[in-house]
Amino acid sequence: MANGKQQNAVPSPRIHQLSIQKVFDGLSQNERLYAHHMSRAAWHGTRIILRQVSPESLGIYDFIMELYTCCAGDWKSVANEVQITSNELYAFLEYAATFLSNIGNYYGSGDQKFVPNLNIESLKKLATKSPKLKALYDEIAEPMLSTPPFSLGYPGDLAQSAYYPGPCIISKDEIALVSQALEGRLVFPENTRIRRVESAGTTFEVLQASVEKDEISQEFPLPDSKGIVRMHRGDHSQELARICSSLAAASNYAANETQREFLAQYIESFQTGSLHAYRDSQRTWIRDKAPRVENIFGFVEPYRDPHGTRAEFEGLVAISDTEETKALTKLVENSATFIKKLPWAEGTKENDEKGPFEKALFEPPDFASIHTLAYCSSIIFPGINLPNYNDIRQECGFKNVIISNRMSAESKKGDVCPFIDESEAETFQKHKYPAYYWWVVLHELLGHGTGKMMVQESEHKYNFDISNPPINPLTGEPIKSYYAPGQTWTGQFGDLATTVDECRAELVGAYLMDDEDLLELFGYTDGSDITAEDLTYNVYLQLGVDGLRGLQNFNIDDGKWGQAHSRAHFAMLKCLLTDGGGFMTIECSPSEQRLLVRVDRSKVVTHGKPALGSMLLRLHMYRCTADVTECRKYYEELSRVDGEYLEWRKIVLAKNQPKWVFVQANTFLDGDEVTLKEYEPTIEGVVQSWAEREV
């Protein structure tokens, strides 16, 4: 499968089954019914995500589903009937499985377009199976097979974004102006898209996701008075109606009143388009402690919006594992101890030794190990911390989950990492999973869960002493900036918000991964099979590897990063290389197309950790004080790809490794009985699982 200009051939995907049968069998009949209807609600979001990815994604999805229907899953008969080779059929199925797993024709991780390793004539032959296929072929063939666009991003010659649909290109400045106009009217952007309309004047249509429709709900001028904004409700109306219907059905089997309350709030938000109702749902959802069946719904993550504020729909339904959660509970109970060891708390007695840039009370969050039953998203994350609204996190708390049956993919032996020396390859693989697991745990709990934003809440009300502002540890002077009323983290930091937030969380996890008391909680000491020092060393090796791998998601054509985490990982690598006193180096041999990460084990704590701590403190302070200017100056330089890094990128691309494709189960309702069906971890199994979802 190809994925655009200057990209080497992508190896066949590695397919991982998100196994769920064992934990599903432990549910009561009522819990199964709740899980089934919630899962149906999640999967009904598929077509919303497709519409958010690219203009052609819905048509490609329908083409794959129609072809499956025409042959009833008997793929060999298709090859014989339309006279294509088995290799050509395999190439199409490989593309189909990758497309379905990513819910669109751009990788969920990286946002790069991928196209099938199939010529247009073979695709045309497949389309002869039915009149519907022929009509879909005419619609999708050209955009499905062509590059550019190469990636998602601000609309232009090289990139596209379905958050800004239509033939009329909208500029960055225009997006910012419309966003400013929405913010001024307290309209949250997460469930919107913006379309530029050519008319007598400059008109921008804001498409708001809701079941209810109206031609124009509001009309107002842009801040510069050079155009108007028209609000249109009813985007994704049909899909949201199906989601609401399934949520209403699930409410009949809810375990408690809290679940019924947030389901009603979900429905109100999806019906009306109100994100104020959605924010209420998040406050209620946080109160649903330790549910047997957990969920995440809504327009959640803004990773794919180039402007950094509009969010992709997401639906997750999962089953908690009580035994696995016990180990996480231990960490949660001791959280306050480790927060005091973070750079902004070191050396202070204020706020119970946590300092002024940390919440006074760290409310122990709900932290569960869960197994996903239905995860409708372009990225299957290994861990999640929500809600994404920082004011709600500070006022009400948050939840963390580790998705165990997704994390298990990291324990697979797979290919040897090409960036680790052969002499270390075996031990790196042995230590990788436990190091990665606990790094993710710390990322979610103490990375996303810490910090206090300096906020002016109203005209004369602040959440800090404005007459005696706290001292900024970066400058030694009182803070000079903070969030004004109505301002938010994503609204102020825009395209930097998600990548800086993820980078900060990754840094917190890595920074603490040498703490002996912390590692002992996890069962790692000097005497364990994998020692505490082994685990720490592996994390730093992974920092180097992830930083190199991140380069594959940097687009040299427009100088933009395609993925928030990739940019964060590269910035961390660059920090360690430039500020780590030589403790980490990258050995590069262009002639042998080789890059190797070298870490001096003796300097991890003395040089590596201080470098990470310095970077972490900067990002934390920029974030807490709304200092966008300094953050942009620092982070853009640290994540700049030039000089030797461009040479490294070429080698990284030449070492392309298989990407994960996930196959998930389905539930079916027969009367009051719910049955579970799992599918083989094959490309055929992936396609069958989606066909049987009937969405």
Find the mean pLDDT for residues 543-557: 93
Mean of pLDDT values over 33-48: 98
Task: Give every CB contact of residue 423 below 8 A, 6+ residues apart in sequence.
Answer: none
Burial class of 14 by CB neighbour count within 10 A (0 to 12, 13 to 18, 19+): middle
Give percent of the chain above pLDDT 70: 97
Average pLDDT over residues 173-198: 92
Q: Which of the four pLDDT bands, split at 50, 70 and 90, describes residue 676?
A: very high
pLDDT given for residue 4 in this prediction = 47
Q: What is the pTM of this model?
A: 0.89
pLDDT at residue 518, rounded to an integer: 94
Greatest mean pLDDT among 11-20, 543-552, 649-658: 543-552
Check whether 6 has a pLDDT greater than 50.
no
CA atoms within 13 A on the CB side of 82: 23
Supply the pLDDT for residue 441: 92
Quote the CA–CA distance of 497 and 491 in Å, as a whole number: 8
pLDDT-derived band at 415, boundaries 50, 70, 90: low
Note the pLDDT of residue 237. 98
Burial category of 637 from C-beta neighbours within 10 Å (exposed 0-12, middle 13-18, buried 19 and up): exposed
More confident of the two residues 36 and 9? 36
Instruction: Determine the Cα–Cα distance for residues 691 and 62; give it in Å rounded to an integer.
Output: 10
Tell me the CATH number for domain 159-237. Answer: 3.30.70.2600
From-to residues of CATH 3.30.70.2600 in the chain = 159-237
What does DSSP assign to residue 344?
A: T
CA distance 443 to 509: 5
Helix, strand, or coil (residue 510):
helix
**What is the pLDDT at residue 301?**
93
Say if CB 408 and CB 584 are below 8 A apart: no
Separation between Cα atoms, residue 307 and residue 153, nearest integer Å: 9
Eight-state DSSP code of residue 451: -
Residue 9 clears pLDDT 60, i.e. is over it:
no
Residue 281's Cβ-count burial label (10 Å; 0-12, 13-18, 19+) is: buried
Residue 523, sorted as left (phi over 0), alpha (psi -120 to 50) or beta, turns out to be left
**CA gap 142, 115 in Å, rounded:** 11
Count of CB atoms situated within 10 Å of the CB of 183: 18
pLDDT in tens, 216-237: 888 999 988 888 999 999 999 9
pLDDT band, residue 27 (cuts 50/70/90):
very high
Euclidean distance between CA atoms 531 and 524, whole angstroms: 6
* Token pair belonging to 337: 């101890």
DSSP letter (8 states) at residue 483:
B
- Picking from 658, 669, 662, the residue whose alpha carbon sits closest to that of residue 689 is 662
What pLDDT does residue 436 have?
A: 92
pLDDT, tens only, 640-664 = 999 999 999 999 999 887 889 999 9
Q: Rounded CA gap, 245 and 247, in Å?
A: 5
pLDDT > 90 fraction of the chain, expressed in percent and rounded: 82
Average pLDDT value for residue range 320-329: 87
Tell me the pLDDT tens digit for each residue of 84-120: 999 999 999 999 999 999 999 999 988 999 999 999 9
Mean pLDDT of the chain: 93
Please answer whether residues 357 and 344 qualify as being in contact, where contact means their C-beta atoms are separated by less than 8 angstroms. Answer: yes
Mean pLDDT along residues 145-173: 92
242-251, 354-363, 585-594, 599-608: the lowest-pLDDT one: 354-363
Q: Hey, what are 359's tokens?
A: 């919440």
Active site residue 444: yes
pLDDT band at 8 (very low <50, low <70, confident <90, very high): very low
- DSSP code for 10: P
Residue 464: φ, ψ to 5°: -150, 170
DSSP H or E stretch at residue 292: none
Region class of 24: left (phi > 0), else alpha (psi between -120 and 50), else beta: alpha
Average pLDDT over residues 191-202: 86
628 CB contacts (<8 Å, ≥6 apart)?
492, 493, 496, 622
Catalytic residue among 444, 459, 587, 684: 444
Q: What band does 330 get if pLDDT is binned at 50, 70 and 90?
A: confident
Q: How confident is the model at residue 316 (pLDDT cuts 50, 70, 90)?
A: very high
Query: Minimal CA–CA distance to 585: which of 534, 648, 638?
Result: 648
pLDDT at 170 over 70: yes
Q: Residue 10 — pLDDT band, cuts 50, 70, 90?
A: low
Tokens read off for 592: 């042998």
